[in-house]
Structure 1
């Protein structure tokens, strides 16, 4: 399962990006004082062969990176103590400021033991966890996707709220979903304290201990101002990629789970996947939505979803409008990438299921979390530095090599 050669190649690919040279506008445009934090995991599937997997991590304390120890059954990562991200009393994310001193910051354990790694906030990648929670609650009979749900005066079927949350990363739809989870009893609070969280029970049953959506509010609040957000909502790459494994109907059965482990009914699972497959924002590991920006680096070579094309070839996905004539990219591309991005000033993340379009044959899962957000964007419309897309292209080239240039045994 754990492929050290693949892990070393991924580490080398990250090192080749020269991330330490990225300019920080919060520090007068100087190169980064501290190496950024990255958490990158992949799992590949080739017919007739055992899955291959790797997880590499980087941080200011380990700028050369290190390889996670993955158990033979693909269970929880070993040898790493993940620490929660942190914000100050005003609700501001402070770990990534140029002058931040990690020795003075709280070291709140998230999970595990060993080499410390402060896990970056997942940004809107959290909406993947939330969608799984909606599907699971529907399976428990607490609601149905076709039921209408009214939020802030707008009445829509629950599935439509979820779709917008995933496909165009709508924050208002996310708040509607959070409010629904509280209303149906999946998340409960008493005396301003969370006392029950059905999502956490599910993730624990799935052996995904670093997936946490804590301290959200009945009114739909899920950000820093609501008491959730940074330090309360957490994901790591290895647990995220394993959540995708659990969701992927074309992947082999997750080997770390017993036969009686929870499973989503196909129709509910497919509703989650629909929001990923109809993704309108290819702006992190894949960069097709940004192709109209002169000089944009090519990323993971997926085919854009024509759903979001405008008549002139421009791109509009929810509140996001991007320039250029992107019509050719809805026909080009050798991969389908069912995925969800996350992006804020301080954070960039991307995770999804990659499948080749014939004659391409590769099938793999990827999850990436980092503190390389829009603060480092090379263009006002970009999600971060050019290195995000370059990493997507590099890791796909590695996976193509591993999965398509091999013979089944």
Structure 2
């Protein structure tokens, strides 16, 4: 891809100072810390510092590229190569027309995994300098009117959606259209399948014959494999075909509606695996929704929480036992072996001048060849990651996702033995997918996997990790 350069005027007004930021923290009294509210103030300032409004758009609203992307039924069906070909013709990219849509949460944990405090910041054309989300002691908010993503509506309606996700929020003071979560939706699917395992309805070593009654470009044709193998492919190499098989399995078992209700019962009201196709497990589109706050809370449960994590809106306590210890272990292992480390972390591109280094994670040895390069199911990153693995500070058990107008990363960060301590969940869900690039982005090296995200997201990941390292040291010194 050619290098594009532009001059973008700086946004009027500096980022709000930490003192002016609306703070949002939930801290159970027994776990009270001296840092109440600090993460929200930091996060808002850090997001402003990145100046996301400076990215360039490879598919401006009236371009042929935009028309080619309009009305897509399966939003994840295009491959990296498909997007590269589509955007190669974008000889004159334009600055993004308005402030991008970002939904970012940091959930701070103690050594045992108990949530201590959180910060969620939303950024959009309505909130160009970001706005922090107030949450209660249960890490829950009723202060946001969450709307479903609308591809055309983001341009036409100043980032405002028209379809409400959570009923009864029409008068909430904050109005925000959630970006489509892309392949991060696979976290919901994996959770649903493991719930069936825990109920004894299926086993991971059971063979599932995937027999779609209609075909889609997203899902492909019939296959047969163990449920565990489909799940592994879904998370570690982001296999769409494997995920389609699992979604169809959930439909076959009549478990999709129950899964959506379970999310409601856990207080994760924005998490909805809706409108998928029971015939083939496809049709991943805008009715599939996840907020960064609810996704972070789900990952906290996967990570493991001793005792009560929070109380749901229905008054029932929520514990880590929503999944068995065995299922949590399976889930965490898959996240640790996820291969696409290229959004909030960029270790797959170790040593590159671009993109910059993000969260300093270790790449799982599963994907590292004898020469130190990473290849994930034929997708070659081409950089020797051994120097970065040697200097790594953390494990980052996470899942990334992207389409043209969505970029997402969600995971659990833990310090490696002997390294500076930190333990937190970070989730970023944005509309900054492969459609948006930096002015200084170099051409893709032949034969390698193209950079899918603006490096501003990696810079944000790095800033969050530095902050959390300091926070953890200060808290545990007391």
TM-score of the superposed pair, with normalisation by structure 2: 0.76
Structure 1 residues 285 and 30: alpha-carbon distance in aligned structure 2, compared to 1, 3 A threshold: same
CA spacing shift, 1:159–1:323, aligned 2, 3 Å: same
1:312 Cα deviation after fit: 2.5
1:172 corresponding residue in structure 2: 241
Q: Deviations over 1:282-320 (max 9, x none)?
A: 111001112364422010111111110123222111242
Superposed CA deviations along residues 254-297 of structure 1, whole A, max 9, x for unmatched, are 12254476611111222222210111111110011123644220
Query: For residue 94 of structure 1, what is the aligned residue in structure 2?
Result: 152
Q: How far apart are the structure 1 equivalents of 2:115 and 2:253?
A: 41
Distance 1:260 1:8 in 2: 28
> What is the rounded CA distance, in whole Å, between the counterparts of 2:179 and 2:195 in structure 1?
26
- 1:337-386 superposed Cα distances (whole Å, 9 cap, x missing partner): 11111111111111111101123211011111000111124354112111
Match of 1:66 among 131, 135, 148: 131
Structure 1 residue 251: deviation in Å?
6.5
Q: Secondary structure at the match of 2:106?
A: strand
Distance change in 2, residues 1:94/1:319 (3 Å): farther
Question: Which deviates the most, 146-155 or 247-256?
Answer: 247-256
Q: Does 1:243 align with 2:307?
A: no
Look up the match of 1:396.
465
Seen in structure 2, the aligned counterparts of structure 1 residues 402 and 105 have a Cα distance that, compared at 3 Å, is closer
Residue pair 1:79, 1:114 contacting (<8 A) in 2 also: yes
Distance (whole Å) between structure 2 residues aligned to residue 407 and residue 274 of structure 1: 27
Q: Alpha-carbon deviation of 1:403? A: 1.1
Structure 1 portions without partners, runs of 5+: 87-92, 188-196
Using a 3 Å threshold, how does the CA distance of structure 1 residues 241 and 252 change in structure 2: closer, same or farther?
A: farther
Aligned pairs (5 A) from 1:110-129? 110-111=165-166, 112=169, 113-129=172-188
What is the aligned partner in structure 1 of residue 285 from structure 2?
Answer: 229
Q: Which has the larger radius of gyration?
A: 2
Q: 1:314 to 1:206 in 2, by over 3 A?
A: same
Contact 1:213 1:233 in 2 (8 A): yes
**Matching residue of 2:37:** 4
Task: Report the Cα distance in structure 2 between the residues aligned to 1:160 and 1:242, rounded to whole angstroms.
Answer: 26
Richer in strand (by share): 1
Give the Cα separation in 1 of the matches to 2:159 and 2:237. Answer: 38
Q: 2:474 aligned with 1:405, yes or no?
A: yes
**C-alpha RMSD over aligned residues:** 2.1
For residues 40 and 255 of structure 1, what CA distance do their matches in structure 2 show? 20
Deviation at 1:5?
A: 2.3
Q: 1:8-407 maps to which residues of 2 (within 5 A)? A: 8-27=41-60, 28-46=92-110, 51-74=116-139, 76-86=140-150, 93-96=151-154, 100-102=155-157, 107-111=162-166, 112=169, 113-151=172-210, 152-187=221-256, 197-222=257-282, 226=283, 228-230=284-286, 232-249=287-304, 253-257=308-312, 258-259=316-317, 263-291=322-350, 293-357=352-416, 358-377=418-437, 378=441, 380=444, 381-407=450-476
Distance 1:297 1:156, change over 3 A: same
Aligned residues: 385
Relative to structure 1, is the Cα distance of residues 37 and 294 closer, same or farther in structure 2, using a 3 angstrom cutoff? Answer: same
Distance 1:121 1:104 in 2: 13
Question: TM-score normalised to the size of structure 1?
Answer: 0.88
Bigger shift: residues 309-318 or 199-208: 309-318
